[in-house]
Amino acid sequence: MMGGTVDILMYHSIAEAPGPTSIAPELFEAQMMALATSGLPVLRMDDVPAHLSGGQGRAVAITFDDGFRDFAEVAWPVLRRLDLSAMVYLPTDCMDGTERWDGAHDPPRPLMTWNEVRQLASDGVDFGNHTATHSDLSALDEAAIANELGTADARMQRELGRRPLHCAPPYGRSSDAARRIMARDRLTSVGTRLATAGPSSDLHDLPRLEMYYFTNLIRWRAHLEGRGGLYLQLRRAFRQIRSQIS
Ligand SMILES: [Zn+2]
């Protein structure tokens, strides 16, 4: 069959902190070194659609949600040294401040400033739309969805000089209306469903790999070597069971 697959990795904060949205710096570095030595190509999100439709074999893309300051201070120095590209999805009204949305840590963690974002953009980091206020798009009507995404587009155009072509709805939640609006003039949208993206994936509801599930480096290396299929299936089954009981 024509078309390749892409493991779209999902990170949030790279810090020594409790909870599934933080990965310790040393562990992040070890995950990235394993990736860099695996020989798998690491794509920018711009190149994911072409790989899925007409590429061959496995590839990886690296994404970060929320624009935490530790991306600039901890993650990017590692990625740059290993020559790996990354996409960071920004909640544009929250930048220059701290996380302040449902599910945020207490105390809230700092986000990057627009100055830092501009510097990183000039270093080659890609930025995408994570809405203006980090809202749950599945709970909004069409006009409110368009306003959340449009406000974030306009802010990124103003701050970075270009409109984002990629989008990640907060909490991985979207609706048919949200997916239709996200698809307008955009190359991809990513969710939080745990799977590898393939030729038949919806470009506006792409699955990702939550890297909190790969904090065991032996398991991560096994996945990179193509021996991780069973583990992913088990995690997916576990997630479905958990969603039924919580
Ligand atoms: Zn988020």
Average pLDDT in the 227-238 region?
Answer: 71
Please tell me the distance between residue 105's alpha carbon and the centre of ligand 1 in angstroms: 12
Per-residue pLDDT at 241 exceeds 80 = no
Span 132-172, pLDDT tens digits:
999 999 999 999 999 999 999 999 999 999 999 999 999 99
207: its two tokens: 């699955």
Query: What is the overall mean pLDDT for the chain?
Result: 93
Please tell me the distance between residue 33's alpha carbon and the centre of ligand 1 in angstroms: 25
Per-residue pLDDT at 246 exceeds 50 = no
CATH 3.20.20.370 matches 5-245 = yes
Please tell me the distance between residue 1's alpha carbon and the centre of ligand 1 in angstroms: 35
Strand pairing category for 166-167 and 13-14: unpaired
230: its two tokens: 């069973």
Please tell me the distance between residue 54's alpha carbon and the centre of ligand 1 in angstroms: 30
Please tell me the distance between residue 80's alpha carbon and the centre of ligand 1 in angstroms: 23
Please tell me the distance between residue 56's alpha carbon and the centre of ligand 1 in angstroms: 31
238, β-bridge pairs: none
Per-residue pLDDT at 105 exceeds 80 = yes
Q: Cα–Cα distances in Å, from 18 out to 13, 14, 21, 164, 214?
A: 11, 11, 8, 31, 16
User: Between 118 and 226, where is the model more confident?
Assistant: 118
155: its two tokens: 């802010």
Average pLDDT in the 31-35 region?
Answer: 98
User: Between 196 and 2, where is the model more confident?
Assistant: 196
- Is residue 157 within 8 Å of 117, Cβ to Cβ? no
41: its two tokens: 């190509």
Please tell me the distance between residue 16's alpha carbon and the centre of ligand 1 in angstroms: 19
Average pLDDT in the 89-99 region?
Answer: 97
Please tell me the distance between residue 5's alpha carbon and the centre of ligand 1 in angstroms: 24
Q: What is the pTM of this model?
A: 0.94
Please tell me the distance between residue 170's alpha carbon and the centre of ligand 1 in angstroms: 5
Question: Interhelix angle for 229-245 vs 217-224, to 10°?
Answer: 120
Bond prior to 91 in cis (omega within 30° of 0): no
117: its two tokens: 């974002």
User: Between 228 and 192, where is the model more confident?
Assistant: 192
Distance CA 159, CA 201 (A): 32
Contacts of 235 (CB under 8 A, 6+ apart): 194, 213
Say what the pLDDT of residue 243 is. 65
Q: How many CB atoms lie within 10 A of CB 101?
A: 16
Span 192-219, pLDDT tens digits:
999 999 999 999 999 999 999 999 999 9
Please tell me the distance between residue 66's alpha carbon and the centre of ligand 1 in angstroms: 5
